[in-house]
A and B are shown apart, each in its own frame.
Chain A
């Protein structure tokens, strides 16, 4: 299998799932109230920057629940997530009991899984990057990919969207960007603050993925969608739902959290 880059969704997942932090220099307190609309028009640059920074922070600790829905089964994992910068993350499964201690460590583009039952850590090699992460509709690649809406895509307001009601923004991959997605459509709320829906189109311009955001709450002092639902359009009866119960932004996370020796000790 060829390793392909997955710029946009990588960012989306890292933002939503791992609360990846931006560069240390620009970690402002995120203003999540003032509408980003001037004279009835969307302030596009500000909206894209806000979208990109929505879950960003130098470091974070969050409690989340991952639910994988299949035609005949549904299962949920309760997990705790630590992040530092956008390079490092640790995901630790806390419930159910039989999965407790299962962990994923990301450092830069490397990914390791720890299985407590057999006390083994396994590295996910580049050839396995497009395989599902923990049996969900996310791929391993979604976790490690680092890319930027602002830098890798050109964007423009497509107009108003009816369902859901808001602004539709179109992102087109820049010519020199190698990625799974050719373009995507993101629908932002009326005030330009909250993402509602994103449609991903692959290099053959087929609608391949849809992400819904909802359940807007104040989490860690920011107004954010607490729930994200991913639907792979090639198997639309499958979906993966990520729900945040709590996020702490800019908290102290010791650097040694993100090491292999810690991976095998976290309980």
Chain B
């Protein structure tokens, strides 16, 4: 019976079980770490991007060309209603919201003994219906608490500073788009604890109509926020929106341009991916090289015999290589299965990393947006395949030298060693 090279390789691995197991565990552990940590990071970034592109910046934004530079009240988009209809007609657009921003002075409008202190605040005029959905700036507010018709929602921190509660009056003093002083009284309909820092600390959320009236800018807005079906498709959507004739006077950008901090952090994450991949490489290389060197030296006599019997040196190279690759593959498969299982379980239950770090807070703030500490790992196929490819390549490379060494043995000398 002629044994196949694969069978021989497999049997050889079984000769020193402890050594083989050690090598297998090193590779498996490397792959497990790669799969699990990458999935965890991908999960946290997914959450982060969804949080950011949800209420705050959407997938695509439209502004006056100079808005991002200056943020002056008179840098607005004109003919908002018409532009909004044109964007909504595009395929893949799920929602279009308008935003109006203006720095103002706010004070309690309640009658008191002494005039109330003014506080700096930011009026955010928005489409109440759009923002009232899950993920919108107005979050899940009940119908009767929504802004509109001279009712506003206040950021929690601002409400505390002004000493206002639901049902109170708030006085707003601003400069309109023409630069003239303007003022009005509004009723506080809700106090919101927003994930967006600026809204929580300074935000006065009001309907687009009220903001347009206060700031003398009817049918105008500072920002259009466009939601698509998937944030990954934002660049395509950006190009489509930018091509609309209605928006030629304006600037159209994707969330990547609007949120460079997040993009930089994602670039950093790609480097972390590479580092983990390198760890798997090293683990596999060390495990495989050691195992294959040891077993080749142990079998010098055997290889001499095989060569003396006329075995083709090429087959000896193949034998050693296949032995190593088999070792690597078994290890990486074991690691992948463990990693996949861990990812699957934690993606169902969620992973609260504040528990690991001993932090009491419920959320973490970055780039002006709060994120939850709970991560739902998200598996990407490449996290598994990169590890497998890396292990196969390192297995071949690490065992090539011992294999060539074995094939070049002088049969007679080898048998006498």
Contacts and interface: CB of A to CB of B under 8 A. Distances in A.
Contacts of B180: 75, 96, 98-99, 135
Contacts of A112: 115
B74 to A, nearest CB: 6
B175 interface: yes
Contacts of B105: 113, 122, 124, 128, 131
B218 interface: no
Contact of A118 (B117, B120, B185): B185
A122 B181 contact: no
Contact of B181 (A128, A131, A135, A260): A135
14 contacts: A73-B74, A113-B105, A115-B181, A115-B183, A118-B185, A120-B183, A122-B105, A122-B116, A122-B117, A123-B115, A125-B119, A127-B120, A128-B118, A135-B180
A112 to B, nearest CB: 6
Interface string A111-144: 0110101101111110110010011000000000
Contacts of B74: 70, 72-73
A113 B74 CA distance: 24
Interface size class of B (residues with CB under 8 A): 20 to 34
Contacts, number: 73
Contacts of B179: 68, 70, 73, 75, 135
B173 interface: yes
B180 to A, nearest CB: 6
A102 interface: yes
Interface of A: 68, 70, 72-73, 75, 96, 98-99, 102, 112-113, 115, 117-118, 120-125, 127-128, 131, 134-135, 260
Given A123-B114, A124-B117, A135-B179, 5 more contacts: A115-B181, A118-B183, A120-B171, A123-B107, A135-B181
Contacts of B109: 118, 120
B229 interface: no
Contact of B175 (A72, A120, A121, A135): A135
A122 B173 contact: yes
Interface string B11-27: 00000000000000000
B178 interface: yes
A74 to B, nearest CB: 8
Nearest to A116: B183
Contacts of A125: 117-119
B171 A115 contact: yes
Contact of B184 (A75, A99, A102, A117): A117
A134 B181 contact: yes
A189 B178 CA distance: 37
B280 to A, nearest CB: 51
B316 to A, nearest CB: 76
A123 B118 contact: yes
B171 to A, nearest CB: 5
Given A117-B184, A122-B115, A123-B118, A75 B178 contact: yes
